[in-house]
Amino acid sequence: MEFDLLLTGGTVLSLAKGAAPIAAGAVAVRDGAIVAVGPAADLAAAGRAERVLDAQGGLILPGFVNTHAHMAMSLLRGFADDLPLKVWLEKHIWPAEARLMNAETVRLGSLWAAVESLKAGVTTVCDAYFFGEAVAKAARASGLRTVLTEGLLDFPTPACPTPEVAFAKQTALLERYRDDRLIVPSVAPHATYTVSPEWLIREAALAAEYNVPFQIHLAETRSELEEIRQRTGLSPVAYLARLGVLSPQTLAAHCVHVDGADLDLIAENGVAVATNPVSNLKLGSGVAPVLEMLARGVRVGIGTDGAASNNTTDLLRDAQLMALLHKGLSYDPTVLPARQLVELLTVGGAGALGLDDRIGTLEPGKRADVIVMSLTEPHTLPLFDPFAHLAYAARAADVRHVVVEGRLVVEDRQVLTVDEAALRAEVTAFAARVG
Ligand SMILES: [Zn+2]
């Protein structure tokens, strides 16, 4: 058998249901897909590889899945901090976006976030922003698997003067990328407090027609809860349920301010949640009841949110903090054990995006999104349990190789797909212009 690529010699964590780690294992890739997973000696005997990547002293595992981000906001990293969400958005972020964001800056910011993400082991990002075609260019150039859209609000966005225009651009993205291998188009009305019920219903119908994710910010802050309750007499979740827009295609970002009845609605409608622990903490929004969601069987993925509110796209950091946070708040160290946390980072995130038939585990037939993490530094030795190291000790900088859709995009911590030095100069020039 001929392989395009063989990642070999490391401990394989396939994340397949019930699968144990394979010491001295290997993963073989052909035509963008995983074709074999097993002991390195068996795979070496099974075929010849055009390219061999050494993973000795490391882990071979599925790439991390970031279920909620605004990649272009990497250009606004550290631009406005230590403010509540409403003031931060209305007085700082939205005016800055209107002034600074265009197709070119969105391409640049998205590409910069893609480089940051890939180097941190993230192989899929679910993005919600404006100028969706510019985000697609960044996805294509970097090789990052990207869920993207054209954000829709009732009022003008940097890209669209009206929701009609945003809807038309979303539809064009759905048509253009419906069978794409790397890009997954989606529908994204911003939130309950910025999009009218008529548009929420039209958006849900569009997502259903194309069978794509319906992304929305939901129950993020206390002020959103109060505003929607005042307007409708309902919680944000109950309001969307009454509109009939909740379904298994719904990917609700945040869900911090939800009660038991809201959680029941989320579970009954098969809604997936993208939880953003660092962003919610930094904006003082609160802590999402992730344990209650998981207890109800809700699909949960982890997200970083934009780099203006996180302030990085290092998903591993979000996951590690989330585990500690819920152990502490519940006075129970047994919750969110290490293996479950790594599942949420990989196959759980893929499931929340409805992509777990394609990515999220290392199994023959799945697309080849694979990372190698090197665990030979002082902070990761000795190694008794690889899951424990991922949950409590490893860092993004331990990511050594990254493969997306069978393409080697990071080798020995160097991004191969884009000129990082040239990009760094462009980002620095942008900051100098903004002053
Ligand atoms: Zn967001």
How many whole angstroms from 216 Cα to the centroid of ligand 1?
A: 8
Query: pLDDT-derived band of residue 37, with 50, 70 and 90 as boundaries?
Result: very high
How many whole angstroms from 127 Cα to the centroid of ligand 1?
A: 9
How many whole angstroms from 94 Cα to the centroid of ligand 1?
A: 13
3-state secondary structure of 152: strand
Query: pLDDT-derived band of residue 434, with 50, 70 and 90 as boundaries?
Result: confident
Res. 277: pLDDT tops 90: yes
* The model's pTM: 0.98
> Within a 13 Å sphere around the CA of 398, how many CA atoms are in the beta-carbon half?
22
- Rounded Cα distance between 55 and 261, Å, is 47
Amino acid 84: pLDDT: 83
- Rounded Cα distance between 435 and 15, Å, is 46
Res. 3: pLDDT tops 80: yes
- Rounded Cα distance between 416 and 264, Å, is 45
How many whole angstroms from 217 Cα to the centroid of ligand 1?
A: 6
How many whole angstroms from 348 Cα to the centroid of ligand 1?
A: 19
How many whole angstroms from 364 Cα to the centroid of ligand 1?
A: 34
How many whole angstroms from 69 Cα to the centroid of ligand 1?
A: 6
- Rounded Cα distance between 306 and 66, Å, is 11
Residue 425: CB atoms within 10 Å: 11
Torsion of CA 212, 143, 128, 112, to 10 degrees: 180
Res. 86: pLDDT tops 90: no
- Rounded Cα distance between 207 and 243, Å, is 15
Amino acid residing at 195: V
**Each residue of 208-226: pLDDT tens digit?**
999 999 999 999 999 999 9
How many whole angstroms from 114 Cα to the centroid of ligand 1?
A: 17
The encoded tokens of residue 32 equal 């963008």
For residues 195 and 232, the answer to whether their CB atoms sit within 8 Å is: no
Query: pLDDT-derived band of residue 85, with 50, 70 and 90 as boundaries?
Result: confident
**Each residue of 343-397: pLDDT tens digit?**
999 999 999 999 999 999 999 999 999 999 999 999 999 999 999 999 999 999 9
How many whole angstroms from 377 Cα to the centroid of ligand 1?
A: 34
How many whole angstroms from 305 Cα to the centroid of ligand 1?
A: 5
Q: What percent of the chain has pLDDT over 90?
A: 95
Res. 435: pLDDT tops 80: no
How many whole angstroms from 205 Cα to the centroid of ligand 1?
A: 22
For residues 45 and 59, the answer to whether their CB atoms sit within 8 Å is: no
Report the mean per-residue pLDDT for the chain: 97
Closest Cα to residue 256, out of 238, 273, 240? 273
Amino acid 181: pLDDT: 96
Ligand 1 (ion): residues with CB under 5 Å are: 305
